Amino acid sequence: MTMNPAIAPVNISGNVYLARVLRDLGVTHVFYVPVLAPEAMKELTRLGVQPMVTHGEKAAAYMADGYARVSRRVGVCGAQNIGGTNLAAGLRDAYLSRTPVLALTGGPTAATRYRQAYQEFDDLPVFAALTKFNARVDAVERLPDLLATAFRAATSGMPRPVHLQLDGFYAAPLSHEFVTQKTVDRRFGSFPPFRPQAAAQDVDAAIAALKGAERPVIVAGGGVQSSQAGEALRAFAERMQIPVATSLNAKSIITGAHPLALGCAGEYSQAPANRALGEADLVLFVGTPTGGLTTLNWLLPPLHTRVIHLDIEAETIGRNYLNCLPLLGDARVVIEQLLVAAPSMCNRSSWLRTCADFRSSWYSAVEPYETGEQEVMRPERLCRLISDLLPQDAIVVGDTGHAAAWLAQNIAVTSTNQQFIRADGSLGWSLPAAIGAKCAAPEREVICFGGDASFLYHIAELETAVRYRKKIIAIINNNVCMNQEQVFWGDNPAFEQNWRFRDTNFTQVAEGFGCRAIRVDSSDEFVAAFRLALASELPVVIDVRTAADALPQNTWRPPGAPNDHAPDSYCP
């Protein structure tokens, strides 16, 4: 454990204090829309931390989110008071995906509050719903304790966003000097700061249950990714011969070719995972809140199924599945405990054969879509090409809607050194999040995958990527429409105007921002474009024209189960 540096008990300005603490806690980038604490930003620059000015507060929050998920450090974003509500809106995905993001905003002052000062609005109630800790820093003397609490809250237990409202509409009072002897505790700059073990009797009970199960399945969630528990989980699954399904956020913990891999479970899913969960007699959930997306609204596994639930947060364990053996602790440490207690080998050949059959019928169903050449390319074909060309340590940042379904179904993990992160439902998240991811991992290729509507949300951030030399590869699955809308509008006469877009030349737009841009109409063109993109030093946009009427495979549902999202092919 590193000792924490003491901040000398001398006069220090709030700006310098803030900058030093962020630096000491491992922050390397701050994403924001000015004006916010300008002296702190200058000090950050002097200390080697990059302030990054974005073209919208929501995008700044998404960048901080992508940054945090890849670096496993706290992502920091900020806004002037007038941009506070925009910034709060951008925390929604971080909140839902349990990512630690610190939002800093300006706020009302004691002198001006209730007097209709220009642009003044108190955003604290707005942030309350989207944060775990939400506090006003009324005086610069409170900066040390509130900043420390914010980092502690963001990273420990269930990671989540936090917010500090700084005094003054752009935090001018931070220029005041104060005296402090406070230290920063570096462990709260990254997550998880603590790795608690599970109780020994809970580990024994879990092993006994798994040994006795005939058709067990592991469901790995984002907590496996953030705890870096993938390797231990694969070793445990192999020892116990248990097939592994994942949430979209944990997709990269097991390769698609691994014999125990079932693919993604739930709404954006592959049928083998859902079918296995439909038949499982015991499910080991790891690092997942067992939410609706991963469990297909608690249909898979069915609610009565016996489960073992391993999570860092006691409140989450057994929340949706009541027939539950709890394992409270850090995912990696507890799986290592399970591994120690596991029998030397289990034989589940009959269950594994069943799962292998699920896999082979799935792959024979999707293979023709992934390999067939059509006059207008299908998204499945595009995804297969991406899988084939993806560098072994690439980071894939996926958007929502049908893009998430194709990401789950047709982009294969070919190495566990890859990382897949995805929007938790907010359309447009992927482009800014990819820029944040690149800040966290400058040496890795970052590939952003989404539809054209998603790309249009934050297209101006291409300028940010170029200005700060953040080379990302944005692949637009461009069907020149909001594909899902066709299932709602049918033959309604207003349909064309409402779902089909003007055929915009994205390559011209992207080149205008200073990116490299390539339009692609065929598989061969895509392969050439992707190779060029890998060699490029500039951010690259690959505008791939795909079929407007192509829909993902329907989500596999238990026979007779209600479809919450009729018509069937709607993926929100």
Ligand X SMILES: Cc1ncc(C[n+]2csc(CCOP(=O)(O)OP(=O)(O)O)c2C)c(N)n1
Binding site residues, ligand X, CB under 6 A: 400-403, 425-427, 450-454, 477, 479, 481-484, 572
At its nearest, how many Å lie between ligand X and the CB of residue 181?
45
Residue position matching structure tokens 């379904």:
405
Residue 288 CB, nearest approach to ligand X (Å): 21
Asked whether the beta carbons of 374 and 521 are under 8 A apart, the reply is: no
Nearer to ligand X, 26 or 572 (CB): 572
Q: Which residues contact 337 (CB under 8 A, 6 or more apart)?
A: 197, 198, 200, 203, 329
- Tell me whether residue 97 or residue 477 sits nearer to ligand X (CB atom): 477
Pull the structure tokens for residue 558. 């238990």
Query: In whole angstroms, how close is the CB of 565 to ligand X at the nearest point?
Result: 11
Q: Which is nearer to ligand X, 131 or 484 (CB)?
A: 484
Q: Which residue's CB is nearer to ligand X, number 156 or number 479?
A: 479
CB of 68 to ligand X, least distance (A): 20
Closer residue to ligand X (CB): 292 or 425 = 425
Cα gap 88→77, rounded to integer Å: 10
Amino acid at 403: A
- Residue for token pair 């020892």: 239
CB of 450 to ligand X, least distance (A): 6
Residue 350 buriedness (CB in 10 A; 0-12 / 13-18 / 19+): exposed
Measured in degrees and rounded to the nearest 5, phi and psi for residue 276 equal -65, -40
Q: Identify which of residues 43 and 424 has a Cβ nearer to ligand X in the complex.
A: 424
DSSP one-letter string for 496-563: HHHHBPP---HHHHHHHHT-EEEEE-SHHHHHHHHHHHHH-SS-EEEEEEB-TT--PPPPP--TT---
Which CB atom, from 202 or from 543, has the smaller least distance to ligand X? 543
How far apart, in whole angstroms, are the C-alpha atoms of residue 237 and residue 217? 9
Q: Hey, what amino acid is at 30?
A: V
* Nearest to ligand X of 284, 459 (CB atom): 459
CB of 267 to ligand X, least distance (A): 12
Residue among 355, 327, 351 at smallest CA distance from 341? 327
d(CA 562, CA 557): 8
In angstroms, give the least distance from the CB of 209 to ligand X: 38
| Contacting residues for 360 by C-beta, under 8 A, at least 6 apart | none
**Min separation Cβ 407 and ligand X, Å:** 11
Backbone angles phi, psi at 358, to 5 degrees: -60, -45
Q: Which is nearer to ligand X, 57 or 167 (CB)?
A: 57
Q: From the CB of 97, what's the least distance to ligand X, in Å?
A: 14
The partner residues of 397 in beta bridges, in order of sequence, read 421, 448
Tell me the residue nearest to ligand X as measured from the CB: 451
